[in-house]
Structure formats: structure tokens, C-alpha cells
Structure 1
Amino acid sequence: MTVGLVVVSHSRKIAEGAVELAAQMATDVKFYAVGGTDDGRIGTDLEKTIAAFEAGLGEASGDGVVVLTDLGSAVMTAESAAEFCSEPEKVLLADAPLVEGLVAAAVATQGGASAAAVKAAAEGVRFGQEPVFETAGPAESRGRGEPAESGEFELVNPMGMHARPAAKIAGGLAGLDVEATVNGVDGTSIMELMSLAVGKGGKLKVEAWGKDSSKAVDYVRRLVEQGFGEI
């Protein structure tokens, strides 16, 4: 892997928990969890953050590190730490929801994406939107027009749509220049994809708009045909 992923949180448990979840989706990625103070209180620590950045820059041996944070002061700590580290230009702070953004970044990193593309994958996951379910009507009725590309694929993996397949779909689509839906929900939202609860033998209908529409549909097709690596 060429990119390291750093989580800066006010809580050690939150940082470690987010990394534990994301690591299930991307087993080869280097993660660095920073949270809490040395005496166990809630807060952020500049020195520990700098150390994590330096570890990521050294061990990831390539593009740099992408950083995700929880609350505002964690962003300030991460920004200050970047200024003090050896290669500040290789520390990229992602403006993304911590858990979903981290998982999307992890999947993109696992796929060999550059640091800039990993950051874009994390930021492609949108904050706190209401899910758009199939009951909202066809995509074209919501103002997008007919999709540039579409496809429908039958799930062959035993567990169907759960966290890992959702993360792989969302992470890959977030790194493309495309707007895509899967069964009517946002294709870059892990939680919305999981809410579909499509089992083995069920179908995913992908609709895509934008420059990378063909790539997006083909990407999901290949994931489904390969059983998301689970068969």
C-alpha cells in the first residue's frame, strides 16, 4: 500500500473502534489511531498526532497519509501536527464523516489509489443525508434525466448486501467522476447501501450519470460477479 490512514479523535476508543471496523474491509491498509490524552481523558494530543503522521509517512512508503477527524478541535490539532511533521505536503486532511469516510478511504487505498484519490473517496461520502429509497420514484423523476449508463446484476455472494460489499461499492464509486444510484439509493453511502438488505439471488440496479458512468456500472458489475471476494 502507498497511503496510510490516520484517525484523530477526542476518544481513544472511538479512534480505535473506527479503525477496527475499517480494517475489516481493507486488510492490507496501514491505519493509525490517535485519541484521548496520556492520562486517559477526552481530548486531542499534538505530539501523538505528529508521531502518527510520521509513522504513516514512513511505513506507508509512498504517497503520504490521509487524515480523518471527529470534532472541530481535532481538525485544528491535525492541521497543527501537519505543519510540524517532516513532509507536510504529504498529509491530506479529508473533510468527511469519520466512520463512513474512513471505510471509503480504506477501500480506495486497498485498491491502490493515490492519496489524492483516497481523500476524494472519503469526501465523496456525504454527511447525514436522508436516504432516498426506491419509493421516491425513478431517478429520472428526481431531475437527473435518463441515466447515461445502467445495469442490473444478481448477487451471488452468500450473505448478499452487508457491510463489506457496501463499503467496496461506495469506496469505488466515490473515487469516480459520477453520480450513481443502486436500487435508488446513493451509491457512495455505505449506510444507504446496507439499508437495501438485498440477499443472495436479489438484484442490484445501477444507474449512473456523468463522465465515468460506464466505469461505475462496470465496477459494480465486476464486484457482483466476483462475489465481492467472498466466494
Structure 2
Amino acid sequence: MTVRLVVVSHSAKIADGAAELAAQMAPDVLILPAGGTDDGRIGTSLEKVMAALEQAAGDGVVVLTDLGSAVMTAESAAEFAAGPESVLLADAPLVEGLVAAAVAAQTGADAAAVKDAAEAVYRPPVHPAEAEHVHQQPPDATGDFELVNQAGMHARPAAKIAGGLSGMDADVTVNGADGASMTELMMLAAGKGTVLHVEASGPDAAKAVGYLERLVSSGFGEP
């Protein structure tokens, strides 16, 4: 059973739209929107969020929110949930965080790893000068892979890379960008034909490079 996701927004349209977008990248993940008030106004509804958490109940639920009061509503709903310890709130931007979380859940990651995948897109990029000091030792595994999909490194490929790597015990860079950060990967603006240089260190280094090789060579499942 995959981790389930709940989207709490002040707007029903935003919650529905974000869930629809993420579902395109994670068809096997249950993503439940809980947006707006019970009477269709802008705001949040404790009852809506509680109902979504009840429907999502299982091995793990990760909740993403938009604005401050949505966080408070989600926290209150989690306290009333049948298994509050299985409900995790992610501190992440709603859309990017949800997409990254959905992709991580699709790969079978547990709730903690799904939450971390969502929050990874919020972390600021590492300054190049800092990176030089971090990578004093040569990487444990490397690879060079050419982008073959027509659209290159857009949101879906970036989410698949970041989501998959989030569950591995490895530090990975792709052309110098943090492989676990959807935002940094998208900022590469790498088009079709670009060669991605991958460096990985850690126990899962070879596994991570192999994962990237399969994704890139298959065109991320795109034309």
C-alpha cells in the first residue's frame, strides 16, 4: 500500500487542481483534496480535512498545505484522526512539494521519505563554493546520460528524479545540482540532447546512478 496524500488549501479549486496535476505523475497514489469551506467559500474546513484523513487512513498519510491557517486546521484534524502518529505534515510549497511527494510515494517510499521529498524542494541551493568543500573525496559512482525526451528536464522528469532519489542513501548531483531537489533540477533548463553528468556518493551510490540511467534512457516515459 502506497503512502496517501492530503491537500489542504483555502481554495477548493487550488486543492483539486494540485491533486489533479500530481496524479498525472503518480497514478497509483491516492491524493485527496480538502480545499475551501463546507459552503464553497475561501477558507478551510476542519470537517473536510478530517474526512480526507479518515479516507486516507492506512500505513502513512502526508499532508500538504498552502497558508498558515491551513496548517493549524490540518494539525487539529490530525489530532482527531484515528491514528495521529501516522499523519505527517510537510513544510513544503504546495504544488512543487505535492508533486515531489507523489512521485516518491509512487516509487514505494515510506511516509517519512515522502515527507522529506516534499520538503527537499524548499531547501535553498548549495552555494558552489560550499559544494567544493563537501566533495573533497571522489564520488563513489558516476555516469553521463543524454536527455532523449523531446521536452528535456521539465517538471515531470525533475519530480521523478528527485522523488526516486529521496528514498536512497546517497548524495547525488546532476550537472552540479542537487539530485533530490526538484527545483534545482528544473533550474538546469536542460533541453533534449543535453548530457547529464551524475555523481553519487554513499551506500546507494551505484543504485542511484543506475536509477538515473534507466530514467534518462527511457525518456522518462515520454516521447
CA distance in 2, matches of 1:111, 1:173: 10
CA distance in 2, matches of 1:43, 1:229: 38
How many angstroms does 1:41 deviate by? 2.9
**Count of aligned positions:** 222
Map of 2:54 onto structure 1: 54
1:124·1:175 contact (CA, 8 Å) conserved in 2?
no
Map of 1:229 onto structure 2: 221
1:107·1:168 contact (CA, 8 Å) conserved in 2?
yes
1:45-89 alpha-carbon deviations (Å, 9 max, x no partner):
1111000001111xxxx4231111122222221111112122222
CA distance in 1, matches of 2:37, 2:98: 22
State the identity %: 68
Map of 1:126 onto structure 2: 122
Residue 66 (structure 1) aligned with residue 58 (structure 2) = no
Map of 2:142 onto structure 1: 150
What SS does the corresponding residue of 2:69 show, helix, strand or coil? helix
Map of 1:39 onto structure 2: 39
Map of 2:203 onto structure 1: 211
Map of 1:168 onto structure 2: 160
One-letter identity of the residue aligned with 1:36:
G
Map of 2:106 onto structure 1: 110
CA distance in 2, matches of 1:203, 1:131: 21
Map of 2:76 onto structure 1: 80
One-letter identity of the residue aligned with 1:164:
R
2:144·2:197 contact (CA, 8 Å) conserved in 1?
yes
CA distance in 2, matches of 1:141, 1:90: 39
How many angstroms does 1:30 deviate by? 1.1
CA distance in 1, matches of 2:166, 2:120: 5
Map of 1:4 onto structure 2: 4
How many angstroms does 1:169 deviate by? 0.4
One-letter identity of the residue aligned with 2:132:
S
CA distance in 2, matches of 1:140, 1:124: 17
What SS does the corresponding residue of 1:150 show, helix, strand or coil? strand
2:158·2:182 contact (CA, 8 Å) conserved in 1?
yes
How many angstroms does 1:131 deviate by? 7.9
Map of 1:94 onto structure 2: 90
Map of 1:187 onto structure 2: 179
Residue 198 (structure 1) aligned with residue 184 (structure 2) = no
1:118-151 alpha-carbon deviations (Å, 9 max, x no partner):
2232233334x3586xxx58x8635432333221
The two structures have a TM-score, normalised by structure 1, of 0.85
In structure 1, stretches of 5+ residues that fail to align are none
In structure 2, stretches of 5+ residues that fail to align are none
CA distance in 2, matches of 1:70, 1:186: 25
Map of 1:159 onto structure 2: 151
Give the alignment partner of residue 169 of structure 2, picking from 173, 177, 181.
Answer: 177
After alignment, is 209-218 or 167-176 more displaced? Answer: 209-218
One-letter identity of the residue aligned with 1:64:
G
What SS does the corresponding residue of 1:89 show, helix, strand or coil? helix
Change in 2 beyond 3 A, CA 1:141/1:52: same
Map of 1:17 onto structure 2: 17
